[in-house]
């Protein structure tokens, strides 16, 4: 019986098949004990009318094998289909996106020239945030995107980040956020970070506002070690970090879940150079090395990484980087040089097997039913009212008068805002409005109200005004579950 581990492989679109061929050739030459099960995913499936972008067999194989090594895949524009890359990460709950950014020899950057080595790991939350893709047009002028940050989802990603930092021997882990503005969403991400941090007292844990982080990363990146960041902010910061170490050609990525993990490069299908044997396979190779470590093949990973580093040190390059005086190699020829150099060790920063064995992660058994995550409820929940999102081009004072006259004795209109800024009862004549207001209607202090009461109120109000959406105002113990309007 073969003692190889089987993984699903999807070569992808554009440059995907070329770089995948190069990387698997290197793995085979290094005698990595892997068996590849090729699965069909990507553009050709969308073209055949499969809106999921994968065949049912591909889905089943990935779910059985638990590991998908994939090339970049194209999201067809304007066909109403969702990105298969994002769908795969979300459907299979790969909640942590691990992106490692390390200076490489032979890859010149502002920092390499200044003699400053970079070794940063970003753990980006991978499921939630605006990537829920829950968007609505409230009026013909106004689009709204819902941004989810959840306690269980945040705990999962923080725990992964701390576990990884502990195994890696990291000195510091920093949570980046914008909780000064998004107090409830990013506030929850930050609160859960410090809850988990208590279990890892040996690691210095701190936090930083995301814009401050962006500035500090371009001026003194060496002060950071592991960063844990919500999805969208993490996406932007990780491309910034790719720039610090030489560009997208050097940015690997691992999407880690409890059951299924996906390994891929950060870059896309590079349609401008597809099929020309020009693409740099390094980012996919580095992603493959994270995969080998994840599977426990640390020695093979170290051997290949040392060969890659040695190769780069020699000035061997593809067309997208390196010294223009050296003739660039094609994708396959570059891989052949890495193969020829297997067993060689770079003069600078050789990678040891021990130092790279930290990623090993056990796969949990297949779940029997869908896991519903819910933390214990400890506080009494009450409904204080609702925010009514209305379509109107009336003046705020007119709207205030109309609503006040329509809501009855049990309720009071406490504020009206437009694009998040209060315009009633107080406001500024200079606040420019659009045709969509939010009216906050709360219960009178001596009243209790139910969700049904608020929906009945919406029904009654809709005789005179167009209601686009209703959001309940929840209170959990002493904590209000809603933010104030700007200027309220």
Q: Does 270 contact ligand NAI by CB under 6 A? A: yes
Helix, strand or coil, per DSSP, at residue 24 = helix
Output the CA–CA distances (angstroms, integers) from residue 383 to 238, 250, 455, in the order listed.
40, 51, 12
Report the residue number, 67 or 386, with the smaller CB distance to ligand NAI.
Answer: 67
Q: Does 267 contact ligand NAI by CB under 6 A? A: yes
Q: Which of 26, 30, 66, 75 binds ligand NAI (CB under 6 A)?
A: 75
* Spatial contact of 402 and 390, defined as CB atoms under 8 Å apart: no
Q: Min. distance of Cβ 466 from ligand NAI in angstroms?
A: 37
Output phi, psi for 100, to 5 deg. Answer: -105, 130
Report the residue number, 59 or 412, with the smaller CB distance to ligand NAI.
Answer: 59
Residue 296: left (phi > 0), alpha (psi -120 to 50), or beta?
left
Task: Give CA–CA dist 315/107, Å, rounded.
Answer: 8
Beta bridge pairs of residue 474: 383
| Joined tokens for residue 36 | 């590849």
Report the residue number, 89 or 303, with the smaller CB distance to ligand NAI.
Answer: 89
The CB-nearest residue to ligand NAI is: 268
Q: Does 74 contact ligand NAI by CB under 6 A? A: yes
Task: Give CA–CA dist 53/17, Å, rounded.
Answer: 17
One DSSP character per residue, 142-165 reads -EEEEEE--HHHHHHHHHHHHHHH
Q: Which of 56, 219, 272, 409 binds ligand NAI (CB under 6 A)?
A: 272
- Find, among 115, 331, 134, 118, the residue nearest to 225 by Cα: 118
Which residues have C-beta within 8 Å of that of residue 474, sequence separation ≥ 6?
Answer: 381, 382, 383, 384, 481, 482
Report the residue number, 266 or 485, with the smaller CB distance to ligand NAI.
Answer: 266
Q: Min. distance of Cβ 261 from ligand NAI in angstroms?
A: 15
| Among 181-189, 212-220, 266-274, 395-403, the segment contacting ligand NAI (CB under 6 A) | 266-274
Q: Does 85 contact ligand NAI by CB under 6 A? A: yes
| Joined tokens for residue 151 | 């306690």
Q: Which of 273, 290, 390, 433 binds ligand NAI (CB under 6 A)?
A: 273
Q: Which of 128, 129, 258, 264 binds ligand NAI (CB under 6 A)?
A: 264
Report the residue number, 288 or 427, with the smaller CB distance to ligand NAI.
Answer: 288
Report the residue number, 268 or 487, with the smaller CB distance to ligand NAI.
Answer: 268
Q: Are strands 381-391 and 466-476 parallel, antiparallel or unpaired?
A: antiparallel
Q: Does 285 contact ligand NAI by CB under 6 A? A: no
| Among 58-66, 127-135, 276-284, 302-310, the segment contacting ligand NAI (CB under 6 A) | 276-284
Torsion of CA 381, 384, 388, 393, to 10 degrees: -150
Task: Give CA–CA dist 146/132, Å, rounded.
Answer: 8
| Among 236-244, 262-270, 341-349, 398-406, the segment contacting ligand NAI (CB under 6 A) | 262-270
Task: Give CA–CA dist 385/376, Å, rounded.
Answer: 24
Q: Does 73 contact ligand NAI by CB under 6 A? A: yes
Q: Does 279 contact ligand NAI by CB under 6 A? A: yes
Q: Min. distance of Cβ 265 from ligand NAI in angstroms?
A: 7
Output the CA–CA distances (angstroms, integers) from residue 69 to 34, 104, 250, 255, 488, in the order listed.
11, 23, 17, 10, 51
- Binding residues for ligand NAI, how many (CB under 6 A)? 20
Q: Which of 320, 361, 422, 436 binds ligand NAI (CB under 6 A)?
A: 320
Site string for ligand NAI, 356-375 (x = CB under 6 A): --------------------
Q: Does 290 contact ligand NAI by CB under 6 A? A: no
Report the residue number, 73 or 457, with the smaller CB distance to ligand NAI.
Answer: 73
Site string for ligand NAI, 2-21 (x = CB under 6 A): -------------x------
Report the residue number, 271 or 315, with the smaller CB distance to ligand NAI.
Answer: 271
Residue 421 CB neighbours (<10 A): 15
DSSP 8-state secondary structure symbol assigned to residue 425: S
Q: Does 268 contact ligand NAI by CB under 6 A? A: yes
| Among 72-80, 173-181, 210-218, 233-241, the segment contacting ligand NAI (CB under 6 A) | 72-80
The dihedral of CA 140, 146, 229, 231: what is its sign? negative
| Among 173-181, 190-198, 277-285, 374-382, the segment contacting ligand NAI (CB under 6 A) | 277-285
The dihedral of CA 344, 349, 354, 357: what is its sign? negative
Q: Can you give the binding site for ligand NAI, defined by CB under 6 A?
A: 15, 72-75, 85, 248-249, 264, 267-273, 279-280, 283, 320
């Amino acid at each position: 019986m073969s003692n190889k581990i089987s993984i699903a492989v999807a070569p992808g679109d554009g440059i995907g098949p070329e770089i995948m061929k190069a990387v698997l050739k290197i793995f085979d030459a290094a005698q990595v004990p892997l068996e590849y099960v090729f699965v069909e995913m990507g553009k050709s499936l969308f073209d055949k009318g499969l809106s999921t972008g994968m065949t049912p067999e591909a889905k089943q194989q990935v779910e059985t094998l638990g590991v998908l090594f994939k090339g970049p895949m194209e999201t067809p524009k304007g066909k109403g289909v969702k990105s298969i890359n994002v769908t795969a990460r979300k459907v299979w709950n790969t909640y942590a996106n691990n992106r490692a950014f390390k200076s490489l020899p032979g890859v010149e950057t502002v920092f390499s020239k200044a003699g400053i080595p970079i070794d940063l790991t970003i753990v980006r939350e991978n499921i939630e945030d605006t990537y829920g893709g829950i968007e609505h047009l409230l009026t013909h002028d106004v689009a709204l995107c819902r941004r989810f940050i959840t306690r269980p989802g945040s705990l999962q990603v923080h725990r992964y980040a701390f576990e990884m930092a502990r195994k890696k021997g990291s000195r510091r882990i920093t949570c980046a956020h914008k909780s000064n503005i998004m107090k409830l969403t990013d506030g929850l991400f930050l609160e859960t970070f410090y809850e988990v941090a208590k279990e890892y007292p040996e690691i210095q844990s701190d936090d930083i506002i995301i814009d401050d982080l962006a500035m500090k990363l371009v001026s003194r990146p060496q002060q950071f070690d592991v960063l844990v960041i919500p999805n969208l902010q993490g996406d932007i910061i990780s491309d910034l970090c790719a720039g610090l170490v030489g560009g997208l050609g050097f940015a690997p990525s691992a999407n880690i879940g409890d059951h299924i993990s996906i390994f891929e490069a950060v870059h896309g299908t590079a349609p401008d150079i597809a099929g020309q044997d020009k693409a740099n396979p390094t980012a996919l190779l580095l992603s493959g090395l994270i995969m080998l470590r994840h599977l426990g093949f640390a020695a093979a990973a170290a051997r290949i990484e040392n060969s890659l580093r040695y190769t780069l040190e020699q000035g061997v390059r593809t067309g997208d980087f390196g010294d223009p005086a050296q003739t660039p190699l094609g994708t396959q020829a570059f891989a052949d040089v890495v193969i020829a150099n297997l067993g060689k060790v770079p003069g600078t920063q050789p990678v040891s097997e021990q130092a790279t064995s930290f990623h090993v992660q056990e796969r949990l058994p297949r779940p029997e039913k869908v896991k519903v995550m819910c933390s214990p409820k400890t506080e009494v929940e009450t409904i204080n009212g609702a925010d009514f999102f209305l379509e109107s081009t009336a003046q705020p004072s007119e709207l205030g008068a109309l609503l006040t006259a329509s809501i009855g004795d049990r309720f009071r209109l406490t504020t009206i805002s437009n694009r998040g800024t209060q315009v009633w009862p107080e406001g500024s004549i200079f606040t420019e409005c659009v045709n969509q207001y939010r009216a906050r209607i709360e219960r009178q202090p001596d009243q209790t109200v139910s969700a049904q009461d608020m929906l009945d109120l919406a029904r009654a109000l809709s005789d005179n005004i167009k209601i686009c959406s209703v959001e309940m105002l929840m209170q959990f113990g002493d904590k209000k579950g809603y933010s104030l309007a700007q200027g309220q």
